[in-house]
Amino acid sequence: MNEPTRRITVTVNGTEHEREVPVRLSLVDFLRETLRLTGTHVGCEHGICGACSVLLDGDPVRSCLMFAVQADGHAVTTVEGLCAAEGRMSVLQDSFCEAHGLQCGYCTPGMLVASHALLDKNPSPTAQQVREAISGNLCRCTGYQQIVDAVLLAASRRSGAAN
Amino acid sequence: MKSAVFEYALAGSLDEAVELLAQHGPEAKVLAGGQSLVPMMAMRLARPSWLVNVNEIAALKGCAPGTGEASGCWVTGAGLRQVDAERHAGLAAGVPLIAQGLRWVGHVQTKNRGTVGGSLVHADPSAELPLVARVLDAGLVLRRRAGSRVVAAAQFFDAPFVTAVEPDECLAEIRWPVWTGGRIGSAFEEVSIRHGDYAIVAACAQVALDEQGRCLRAVLGVGGASGTPIAVEPVASALAGTRLDESDIEAAAAAVGGHLDPTGDVHASVEYRLHLARVLCARVLRAARDRALRA
C-alpha cells in the first residue's frame, strides 16, 4: 500500500504552516520532525506519560494520540510558544527553575503545558488542583513535590504582578 | 510505536461518515477522540485500513434535553467531548451519574479529546461510561446509510470490546433517561491503581426515595468484574420498599457477587474483585441514599 498523504494547514505558536504529510504521522512527530520544534518531547507514544502534551485550540492534549491530519485547521501551542518573549522565560518557566521543578527535564515540556493550561483557567489553584492538573504527566525524578511548589510559586508571582 | 499505513477520510457530516462506512465497513474504524484507538494502532493491536474522522461533525457534539421519542431523556451527541459532558450544568442536573462517573475517567488531556460515544463503543469492561449507560439503560442511536435504530444499553454490550454496532454503523447519539418523581440521589465509586487508570472494580447506584425516605426505585451496577458492565437488576429491585437502612444495603451488597463473573489478573484476584464489588456497592448505595435524603 502506498503511503497516503494529505495537505494540511496548522497554526503553531501563532505561525501558519502548510505541509504535505503522511496521514499516519502523529502530531508530535509532525511538530518535532517536520517543523523541527523539538521542545515537545516524545516519551511513551501511547498516551501514558504526558511528555508530548501541547495545547490544541487552548486545551491540553496528548500530541502522540492525534494524527497531524486531525490538527488541520486548528491552532497548536507547544512549549516554545509559552515563552514570554524571544529568549526569555515565562513566570511559570522561571518558577520551575527557582523551585527545582525539574531534574532530567524529560517531562518538563509536558508539565509546563499542563500547568500553563491550569493557570490560564484557574489563576490561584490549590495544591490539590495542581496535582490533579498534572496527574496525566509522569515525572521519574522529582517526586512531584517541587513541581507542585513551582506551579504554586508561579501562581503567586502572577497574582502579585497583577496587583 | 507508529501506526501501520491506513487510508484516511475526513467526514464533513454524519451522512458522509455512514456513506464511508457503507463502502469500507469491516476495514474501517471511526476515529473520534482516539484516546483508545490511537494507542491500539500505535501498538499494532488495531490495523484498520481506513480511518473515518468524525471529529469535525458539529452535529455529533450536542447536549440537550430530548424531544419527541427522546423526551424524558437528556441527549448527548456521540462526539461530545468528555470534558464538555463533565462540565455541563444541565446534564449534571438531569443525569448526575455521568459527571460522577467522568470524575474517575483519565486525565484532563485525555478528557479534552475523548468522547462520550467513543468510550461506549470501545466497551472496555472496566470503563466508567459504559457502566453508567448500562445501569441507567440508556438508548444508543446507531446510524447507517439506510436509517437508524435505537439499541438499549442492556442489549448493546456483548463481550469485552464487542458491541452491537455493525461495521456500517456509527453511534450518533445517546439518550440518557432522566428520573422524575421522589427525591433522587446517585453515586459512583471505584478502586484503581492510580486515579485516572482503568478501574479494578467500579460501582454506581441511583435511588429514588419518597417523602418518608422509603425507596421507590433503585438501580445498581458493577464494572470490571465481568466481561461487560453488569446491572444487578434483581438485587436493585429488591431494595424497593425498604428504607435503605444498613441491613438492607449490606444484604444487597452481599447478593451482588452472585451476578458477577470476574477474572483474576496481576492486579487483582477473583476473590479481591468480588470483595471490592461488595464494598463498593454498599458505599454507592449509602452515598446515593444520603444524597437523595438531602435533595
Taking only the tens of pLDDT, chain B with its 295 residues reads 899 999 999 999 999 999 999 999 899 999 999 999 999 999 999 999 999 999 999 999 999 999 999 999 999 999 999 999 999 999 999 999 999 999 999 999 999 999 999 999 999 999 999 999 999 999 999 999 999 999 999 999 999 999 999 999 999 999 999 999 999 999 999 999 988 888 999 999 999 999 999 999 999 999 999 999 999 999 999 999 999 999 999 999 999 999 999 999 999 999 999 999 999 999 999 999 999 999 8
CATH number of B7-53: 3.30.43.10
Cell numbers that stand for A41 in this block: 518531547
- Output the pLDDT for position A163: 46
Q: Are B252 and B215 contacting, i.e. CB atoms less than 8 angstroms apart?
A: no
**A47 touching B (Cβ < 8 Å):** yes
CB contact under 8 A, B5 and A1: yes
Task: Give the β-pairing of B139-144 and B50-53.
Answer: unpaired
- Domains of chain A are 5-82 (3.10.20.30), 91-162 (1.10.150.120)
Phi then psi for residue A69, to 5 deg, are: -60, -25
The yes/no answer on whether domain B183-294 falls in CATH 3.40.50.970 is: no
Interface confidence (ipTM) of the complex = 0.94
Topology classification of domain B58-177: 3.30.465
How many CB atoms lie under 10 A from the CB of residue A146? Answer: 19
| pLDDT bucket at A1, cuts 50 / 70 / 90 | low
Among chain B residues, CA nearest to A63: B109
In sign, the C-alpha dihedral spanning B15, B19, B25, B28 is: negative
Residues 6+ apart with CB under 8 A from A13: A37, A76, A77, A78, A80, A81
Q: Are A118 and A95 contacting, i.e. CB atoms less than 8 angstroms apart?
A: no
Q: Where are the domains of chain B?
A: 7-53, 58-177, 183-294
* Chain A partners within 8 Å of B8 (Cβ): 4, 6, 23, 67, 69
**pLDDT over 90 at A87, yes or no:** no
**Average pLDDT, integer, range A30-45:** 97
Shortest alpha-carbon distance between residue A37 and chain B (Å) = 19
Rounding to the nearest 10 degrees, give the CA dihedral for residues B62, B168, A64, B57.
-30
pLDDT (tens digit, 9 = 90+) per residue, A9-20? 999 999 999 999
Cell numbers that stand for A115 in this block: 500547568
Shortest alpha-carbon distance between residue B3 and chain A (Å) = 6
pLDDT (tens digit, 9 = 90+) per residue, A91-140? 999 999 999 999 999 999 999 999 999 999 999 999 999 999 999 999 99
- Output the pLDDT for position A86: 76
Name which of B101, B35, B110 is nearest A114 in CA terms: B110
CB contact under 8 A, B8 and A6: yes
Interface list for A 58-97 with B (CB within 8 A): 59-62, 64-67, 69-70, 72
Cell numbers that stand for B133 in this block: 449507560
**A16 touching B (Cβ < 8 Å):** no
| pLDDT bucket at A162, cuts 50 / 70 / 90 | low
